[in-house]
């Protein structure tokens, strides 16, 4: 596609410097721990490899290139885990650039996205295998017996099964509201069994941590004998992996769901999985660490707009999801209040009022949200609405909880009244 190649070359100037600084400054700690020159090297390699694939369209040339890169990185002492993550991220960032540049050329954009998923999957597989071999030759990898079937890297919680199968699609998972998932751009509609999607929800609640099969059986089938519960678990697991990876060869390990003895987890750190709740939490962290108000506002907006409803809203009667559901709802409410107050400081009362109301919809007793609504109405010069908002606060707290508003809430109302007098 000539449009893609043209836009690709237009984006290259200054891309590496800008994006490598962005990765080190703004992304999760594993990237920040890398020297910036290593990030730049990964970006150059990612860009060059994509260019090879675009120009020649031959996976063999592309694979050979990445094998050489993998050996070089191992010899330079660059962590294979970090290297893989940076390469994945840099490809994703380039995709975001192209999404903007090609937004009026949907056919070219669709071709690029499909090609990129293949590039990421093949590159990950080739690089992982080549780096493991190179590290073994350099005696930088532990002497884990090959027969164990597990290769353990320097991060204790990262375990890569030696499988020759790599999922061909990025798995996008929406856990806020109704649980939904997409293989690439195609939504999974038919889950086959309810237990399959319930099992995915259970694995999501663990956020990449291991959970024992016995624990899952006790939570899902508490009334069955252990042997029968285990049989039900195997049926659910097989149904889930079949839905997520219908192209996976028989007897090959799943790319998305890892197993270690009798424990299972969602392979968030090794497979191409994008999970909305993790992105939500990352954006909230960035908002709290932002160096200026506009940056914090932008991060809060992005995070809050991802909250499509309570976590696993279609599993409301599953006790195993309740704890995380309440935590995420509390984070949403607090973030909405924080954003409302930041917007008030920027004299944007209409949007501040929207987020204050969103917080109150999720938690009608959140007095910080009422406080933000008071000042929003004051900035808008709406005395009647201000008084009604305070009355609503009083009546809700008194009727439902038998409490009076906090002193801080009363003070916020008085301050709003004084602001109105000056307007």
Q: What are phi and psi of 242, to 5 degrees?
A: -65, -35
In angstroms, the CA 388 to CA 418 distance is 16
User: What strands, in cross-sheet order, belong to the sheet with 263-266?
Assistant: 211-212, 263-266, 257-260
In angstroms, the CA 70 to CA 129 distance is 9
**How does strand 186-187 pair with strand 211-212?**
unpaired
- Strand-pairing partners, residue 257, are 266
pLDDT value at residue 264 = 95
pLDDT value at residue 79 = 56
- Strand-pairing partners, residue 311, are 176
CB 332 within 8 A of CB 339: no
In angstroms, the CA 131 to CA 75 distance is 9
pLDDT value at residue 69 = 63
Q: Residue 257's closest CA among 183, 220, 204?
A: 204
Give the DSSP per-residue string, 41-73.
Answer: HHHHHHHHHHHHHHHH--HHHHHHHHHHHHHHH
In angstroms, the CA 380 to CA 213 distance is 56
Give the DSSP per-residue string, 306-320.
Answer: H--SSBTGGGTT-HH
Q: Which long-range contacts (CB under 8 A, 24 or more apart) does 220-224 make?
A: 220/195
Rg (CA), the chain: 25
Class of residue 224 by CB neighbours under 10 A (exposed 0-12, middle 13-18, buried 19+): middle
Q: What tokens appear for 340 in the block?
A: 């409302």
pLDDT value at residue 155 = 30
pLDDT tens, N- to C-terminus, the chain (423 residues): 455 555 555 555 555 555 556 655 555 444 455 555 656 666 566 555 555 555 555 555 555 655 666 666 666 665 555 555 566 666 666 666 667 666 776 666 666 666 665 555 555 555 555 555 555 555 544 333 332 222 222 232 323 333 344 555 788 999 999 899 998 878 898 888 889 999 999 999 998 889 999 999 999 999 999 999 999 999 999 999 999 988 877 777 888 999 988 999 998 888 888 899 999 999 999 999 998 999 999 999 999 999 989 999 887 667 888 899 999 999 999 999 999 999 999 999 999 999 999 999 999 999 999 999 999 999 999 999 999 999 999 999 999 999 999 999 999 999 999 988 776
Contacts of 120 (CB under 8 A, 6+ apart): 88, 91, 170, 272
In angstroms, the CA 406 to CA 343 distance is 23
Domain at 277-422, CATH homologous superfamily:
Tetratricopeptide repeat domain (1.25.40.10)
CATH classification of 171-271, choosing from 3.30.2020.30, 1.10.1030.10, 1.10.10.10, 3.40.1440.60?
Answer: 1.10.10.10
Q: Any idea which residue has 């197993």 for tokens? A: 259
Class of residue 146 by CB neighbours under 10 A (exposed 0-12, middle 13-18, buried 19+): exposed
pLDDT value at residue 408 = 94
Q: Which long-range contacts (CB under 8 A, 24 or more apart) does 192-197 make?
A: 192/239, 192/242, 192/243, 193/235, 193/236, 193/239, 195/220, 195/232, 195/235, 195/236, 195/239, 196/236, 196/239, 196/240, 196/243, 197/240
CB 347 within 8 A of CB 378: no
CB 247 within 8 A of CB 238: no
pLDDT value at residue 152 = 24
Class of residue 350 by CB neighbours under 10 A (exposed 0-12, middle 13-18, buried 19+): exposed
165 three-state secondary structure: coil
């Amino acid at each position: 596609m000539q449009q893609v190649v043209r836009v690709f070359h237009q984006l290259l100037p200054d891309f590496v410097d800008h994006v490598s600084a962005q990765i080190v400054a703004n992304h999760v700690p594993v990237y920040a721990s890398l020297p910036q020159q290593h990030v730049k090297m990964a970006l150059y390699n990612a860009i060059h490899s994509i260019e090879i694939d675009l120009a020649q369209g031959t996976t063999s040339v592309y694979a050979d290139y990445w094998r050489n890169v993998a050996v070089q990185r191992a010899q330079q002492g660059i962590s294979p885990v970090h290297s893989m993550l940076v390469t994945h991220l840099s490809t994703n960032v380039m995709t975001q650039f192209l999404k903007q540049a090609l937004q009026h050329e949907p056919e070219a954009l669709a071709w690029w996205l499909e090609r990129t998923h293949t590039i990421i999957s093949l590159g990950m597989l080739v690089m992982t295998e080549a780096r493991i071999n190179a590290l073994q030759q350099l005696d930088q990898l532990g002497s884990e017996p090959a027969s164990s079937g597990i290769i353990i890297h320097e991060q204790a919680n990262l375990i890569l099964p030696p499988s020759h199968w790599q999922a061909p699609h990025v798995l996008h998972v929406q856990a806020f509201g109704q649980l939904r998932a997409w293989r690439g751009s195609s939504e999974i509609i038919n889950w086959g069994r309810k237990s399959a999607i319930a099992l995915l929800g259970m694995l999501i609640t663990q956020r990449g941590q291991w959970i024992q099969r016995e624990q899952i059986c006790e939570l899902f089938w508490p009334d069955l004998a252990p042997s029968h519960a285990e049989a039900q678990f195997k049926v659910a697991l097989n149904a889930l992996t079949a839905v997520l990876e219908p192209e996976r060869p028989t007897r090959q390990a799943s790319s998305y769901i890892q197993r270690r003895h009798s424990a299972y987890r969602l392979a968030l750190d090794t497979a191409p999985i994008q999970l909305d709740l993790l992105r939500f939490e990352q954006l909230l962290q960035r908002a709290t660490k932002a160096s200026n108000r506009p940056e914090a506002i932008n991060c809060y907006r992005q995070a809050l707009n991802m909250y499509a409803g309570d976590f696993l809203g279609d599993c409301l009667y599953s006790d195993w999801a309740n704890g995380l559901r309440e935590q995420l709802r509390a984070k949403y409410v607090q973030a909405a209040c924080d954003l409302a107050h930041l917007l008030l400081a920027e004299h944007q009362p209409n949007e501040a009022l929207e987020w204050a109301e969103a917080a109150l919809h999720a938690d009608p007793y959140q007095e910080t949200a009422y406080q933000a609504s008071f000042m929003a109405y004051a900035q808008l010069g709406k005395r009647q609405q201000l008084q009604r908002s305070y009355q609503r606060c009083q009546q809700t707290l008194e009727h439902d909880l038998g409490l009076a508003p906090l002193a801080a809430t009363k003070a916020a109302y008085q301050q709003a009244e004084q602001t109105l007098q000056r307007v």
